[in-house]
Amino acid sequence: MTNSPLPRRRHLADLSGPQVDQLLSPDSIIVQPLGAIEQHGPHLPLNTDLIIAQAVAEATVAAVGDEVDAWVLPPLAYTKSNEHAWSSGTIWLSASTLLAVLDDIGRCVAKTPAKRLVFLNGHGGNSTLLGTANRELRLNHGLMTFTTHPGVPPDQGGVSAEGEHGMGIHGGTDETSVMLHLAPHLCDMSLAERRIPEGMIGNRYVKFGGSVSFGWLSNDFFPDGYIGDPTTATPALGQRLFDGSVTAFGEALREIKTFDFGR
């Protein structure tokens, strides 16, 4: 007979049903990490977004969970990744399926004492749908809903490494650096090459993060499907970025804890 593993602190799934009612309150925060299983070029694994989102969520809740009464759910691995549907190994949900899954999760969270649900989104392709889900969950289930990222994607107003010209959006310097910090055994830097669509650098409007958006698939730019410059990635940069993400998410949870629509 083997001993059962000890429950992890502030992992909601490790609680019993009665413990959920005993330990949670309307002020509790539920954190739902979202990742993806999608190609990230030949140098990174399919589960890059999943690893990063889960690691940031768990490290942050471990650091500030007692202070803000936050609880982390198991990560959602399969999300909307059809910009990578061309690639073997990518497993994705349709927009309608993901919205239905998020609504089901919200419906279940609303049955607990907690009334605040935070999506920590590790995959930029989910962002638009999460904005829709936030409002639908607020309307349908009365939850207070929020979306944040381990790092804001460059095509959504975030920054990328110098030399990427704002186009380090998938498998580039920063994402590769974080993976070299978290899971170097899954990275193969011998296959990393610079992949920047140089012809877009001079555009004022039609570009990533520009005022004119455009539909795209990841292999529209390069056949290996990543966009950025992983050749400048380092584990030290990855640790700095990861630590910064944990700090920023912890600060965000403190504001989420007291947020009440400005009242």
Q: 């650096």: which residue's tokens?
A: 177
96 domain-assigned:
yes
5 domain-assigned:
no
How would residue 157 be classed by pLDDT, with cut points 50, 70 and 90? confident
Q: Are residues 126 and 156 in contact, defined by beta-carbon separation less than 8 angstroms?
A: no
Q: What is the pLDDT of residue 87?
A: 97
Q: What is the pLDDT of residues 93-117, one digit of tens each?
A: 999 999 999 999 999 999 999 999 9
Higher pLDDT: 1 or 95? It is 95
Q: What is the pLDDT of residues 8-32, one digit of tens each?
A: 789 999 999 999 999 999 999 999 9
263 domain-assigned:
no
The reply to whether the predicted model has a pTM over 0.85 is yes
On the 0-12 / 13-18 / 19+ scale of CB atoms within 10 A, 260 is exposed
State how far the Cα of 241 lies from the Cα of 132, in Å rounded to an integer: 28
Q: What is the pLDDT of residue 181?
A: 98
Instruction: Give the mean model confidence (pLDDT) for residues 72-79.
Output: 98
Among 130, 178, 128, 176, residue whose Cα is nearest residue 150: 178
Q: What is the pLDDT of residue 238?
A: 98
Rg of the chain taking only CA atoms, in angstroms: 19
The count of structural domains within the chain is: 1
Residue type at 12 in one-letter notation: L
In sequence order, what are the residues at sequence separation of 6 or more whose Cβ sits closer than 8 angstroms to the Cβ of residue 39?
A: 46, 84, 87, 88, 89, 90, 218, 225, 226
CATH code, domain carrying 155 = 3.40.50.10310
How would residue 1 be classed by pLDDT, with cut points 50, 70 and 90? very low
2 domain-assigned:
no
Among 141, 38, 161, residue whose Cα is nearest residue 91: 38
214 domain-assigned:
yes
Region of poorest pLDDT, from 133-147, 158-172, 183-197, 241-255:
158-172
Q: Which domain holds residue 25?
A: 12-258
4 domain-assigned:
no
107 domain-assigned:
yes
What's the sign of the alpha-carbon dihedral 147, 149, 152, 155?
Answer: negative
Q: What is the pLDDT of residues 44-58, one digit of tens each?
A: 999 999 999 999 999
Q: What is the pLDDT of residue 39?
A: 98
